Amino acid sequence: MDSPGTALDDRLPSDRLLRATAAQWSAALVWMSADGTIVGANPGFARLAGVPLETLVGHSLPGLLDLGGRDWQAVWDGAQGDHPPPGTGSLRIPRRDPVPVDLHWQHLTDGDDVLLLCEMRGFDERERAEAVAGLQQNVLELVAAGRSLKQVLDFLCRQVEACAPEVACSVMLRDDENRMRVAAAPSLPVAYTAGIDGLPIEPDVGSCGSAMSVGEAVMSTDIAGDPRWDTHRDLALTHRLAACWSNPIKGRDARMLGSFALYYREPRSAPTFHRRLVEACVHLCALAIEHDRARAEINRLAYFDTLTGLPNRQLLADRATAALALAGRTRQPVTLMFLDIDRFKTVNDSLGHAVGDRLLVEVATRLKQLFIEGDTLARLGGDEFVALLPGCDAAHASLLAERVLTTLSVPMTVADLTLTPTASIGIAVHPNDGMDFDTLLRQADAAMYRAKQAGRNRCHFFRRDMNEQAVRRLEMEAALREALDRQEAGCPGEDAPFELHYQPQVRLKPNCLYRVEALIRWTHPRWGAVSPAEFIPLAEECGLIDRLDSWVLQTSVAQLGRWRAAGIPVPGLAVNVSAVRFARGDLPDQVRAALATNGIPANDLTLEITERLMMTEEVGVHDALDALHALGVTLSIDDFGTGYSSLGYLKRYPVGELKIDRSFVKELDIDAANRPLVRAIIQIGEALGLTVVAEGVEREAQHRMLEAEGCAIGQGYLFARPMPAATLVDWLAGEGKHWNECPDEDCISI
């Protein structure tokens, strides 16, 4: 096939017409072979390139035409298939500015010859102006339509890259810590943007950091040799970024907002057209950023309280409506907590509104620390706060209200005055107290007023039964704190609120006393004996369990020491220890000191812990377990079988004993389904070399079954109830005497 631009056979009219058409065609035409070699071109291509036609034929078009990184083979294949080649590019002739061009491709065949025809149309000044105007209009339309800032800036970068395919764009924003944040960079490698995101804005932190720092455009024509890129040069060069032109983005008040940058794949400066594009883009970026911030401020004013920064009533209502709709489908509770500052009007009237405002801000700050993600704490106005608590039931709401009252009651200093804020809290729970937000708010408000009438600084539920539980819990926590203070202060014996009872654990075969378990008992002047099932969980929830555990450990080990000194045959002692006690980290030291002070061998002490503690990932807990084991103390898993299904911790941690939970033993002789479970636990213990203790043994039939299954130790009312220390001595001398007559001398170690 003859090529236009070379000598063509003009013997036929059709050939002459073809030559005339190609020569007079206004657009640039160029024909390439499969490897991209120019085999022909028309005068329009020579005019566009600005060089004689004969110097172009035989050259490689991919070497002259920048297609934004597209591979030539992909262009050739795309022109024949379903993936069209790029529609824009940049003609780059040595020692001339790049010429942006529109591209149209056509495959041609003539027998065995296959060529690719490319029609190019360059941007003249009018077209370039139209391109910039079109870009501005499109971006402004997106801003007016309320699109997100990320969408607007991403679109802007892509539009610039379409007009100038040889560049890659980025928009960086300045954050409150004076660091660069990547807002848009659609064509830059992800690894590169991740590497520059969060860098400080300083004079020698690349082109963008320098531009934002000095407030002027920075042109790095060759990143490889630019000292401003010393610390991040390798990152840029690794991703084939050779040059960068960055321009600062400033707001109307000249405040630095960010930067707009063009990256190039080879060392060079920015041509005139690119500078015009960037000039327009910098203004568009500033407009979009300030519009986004203005919209955010409007949203803040519409939905947030200006004094405390908390959500206002409107946002609270919106979130409550959504939470209640979800609760209706999932049948989950939703709690509304209404809080009013006590005597706030007195503060405002006597000390002024400025002091009142400072008090409200401090209250808001304290309250925010108490709520978790998903909760909404709002200020309705004045001294009224409301918390929306999805998924929170009455019991948890009661505990949270106690924490709120405790946190608020810490004194604060305002205007050289010490104030102790308190609050009255009303609580309403969906669905029983209301199905919609307005009803729940009204009920919680009414409950709050009842709390004020009852004396302030307390919480009140809308429903009577819940309120009675909350009052009981608050009273019990206060009584528990007082009892601990009295006990630790050394209250005389009969007046001491706490007492330890000891329940024997016996070896089933041969029959003998194995040890005793220390169990705490609390007697209240008004309530009488308070069940451990009630006050132990309360102590855990309100942070008192650590003090209780310490007292039980010290007191019980001291009692064992006194028994040993008096010759009372008590072989060993078991003490329960909470997970909270382990978290403090000083438990091994306290155990070591207590044993040494009272002359008790470490292997005579067993600490009973929960499965939940064994599953923790806290390093301090693991270290404490290892330290106790190294000391010689036995670790026992209490209530085994009711917690986690994973048994891996039995191999990983130094456990020496398993206690079968009483729920399995309770109906062992009644429900046949319980026997395989008990047998499995005993077999697990035997396989791992662990002692197995069954608690809750109350009937002889249970005793026989456990003995038949190979259970080593039993504990329960069948053998003995928990009893005070003095009563245990009498029991050992009387009813329990036969448990001391052990045929195996090793059963009792004193």
User: Do 441 and 343 sit in the same domain of this protein?
Assistant: yes
User: Do 649 and 536 sit in the same domain of this protein?
Assistant: yes
Q: 88 exposed, middle or buried (CB, 10 Å; 0-12, 13-18, 19+)?
A: middle
Q: Of 445, 339, 332, which is closest to residue 390 (Cα–Cα)?
A: 332
User: Do 536 and 614 sit in the same domain of this protein?
Assistant: yes
Structure confidence at residue 82 (pLDDT): 65
> pLDDT for 328-351, tens place per residue?
888 889 999 999 998 888 888 778
The answer to whether position 341 is within a domain reads: yes
Crossing angle of helices 464-488/545-566, nearest 10°? 50
Cα 463 versus chain centre, distance: 35
Position 748 confidence tier, pLDDT thresholds 50, 70, 90:
very low
Cα 114 versus chain centre, distance: 60
Return d(Cα 476, Cα 471) in angstroms, integer: 8
Mean per-residue pLDDT, 412-431: 87
Structure confidence at residue 469 (pLDDT): 66
State the Rg of the chain over Cα: 41
Asked if residue 360 lies in contact with residue 298, where contact means CB atoms within 8 angstroms, the answer is: no
Asked if residue 636 lies in contact with residue 643, where contact means CB atoms within 8 angstroms, the answer is: no
pTM of the model: 0.46
Question: Across-strand partners of 524?
Answer: 528
> pLDDT for 426-469, tens place per residue?
999 999 888 999 999 988 988 998 888 778 888 888 876 655 66
Q: Which residue has the higher pLDDT, 462 or 7?
A: 462
Q: Of 201, 256, 209, 212, which is closest to residue 229 (Cα–Cα)?
A: 209
The answer to whether position 135 is within a domain reads: yes
Position 641 confidence tier, pLDDT thresholds 50, 70, 90:
low
Counted residue by residue, the chain has a size of 750
- The stretches of 332-461 forming alpha helices (DSSP H) are 344-351, 353-368, 394-408, 437-453
Q: Which helix (H) or strand (E) holds 676?
A: helix 674-688
Q: 34 exposed, middle or buried (CB, 10 Å; 0-12, 13-18, 19+)?
A: exposed
Structure confidence at residue 3 (pLDDT): 45
| Residue reference for tokens 């919106």 | 318
Chain mean pLDDT for the chain: 85
Torsion angle of C-alpha atoms 151, 154, 160, 164, degrees rounded to 10: -140
Among the three residues 301, 318, 345, which one is the final residue of a domain in this structure?
301
User: Do 275 and 387 sit in the same domain of this protein?
Assistant: no
- Judged against a pLDDT cut of 90, whether residue 70 lies above it is answered with no
- Judged against a pLDDT cut of 60, whether residue 552 lies above it is answered with yes
Asked if residue 608 lies in contact with residue 659, where contact means CB atoms within 8 angstroms, the answer is: yes
User: Do 287 and 371 sit in the same domain of this protein?
Assistant: no
- Judged against a pLDDT cut of 60, whether residue 749 lies above it is answered with no
User: Do 646 and 508 sit in the same domain of this protein?
Assistant: yes
- Judged against a pLDDT cut of 50, whether residue 141 lies above it is answered with yes
| CATH number of residue 506's parent domain | 3.20.20.450
Mean per-residue pLDDT, 640-649: 62
Return d(Cα 668, Cα 406) in angstroms, integer: 46
Domain count, the chain: 4
Return the minimum-mean-pLDDT range out of 84-93, 182-191, 201-210, 271-280.
84-93
Mean per-residue pLDDT, 227-247: 92
Query: Across the beta sheet with 243-250, what order do the strands follow?
Result: 180-184, 168-174, 256-264, 243-250, 218-220
Domain that holds residue 25: 13-122
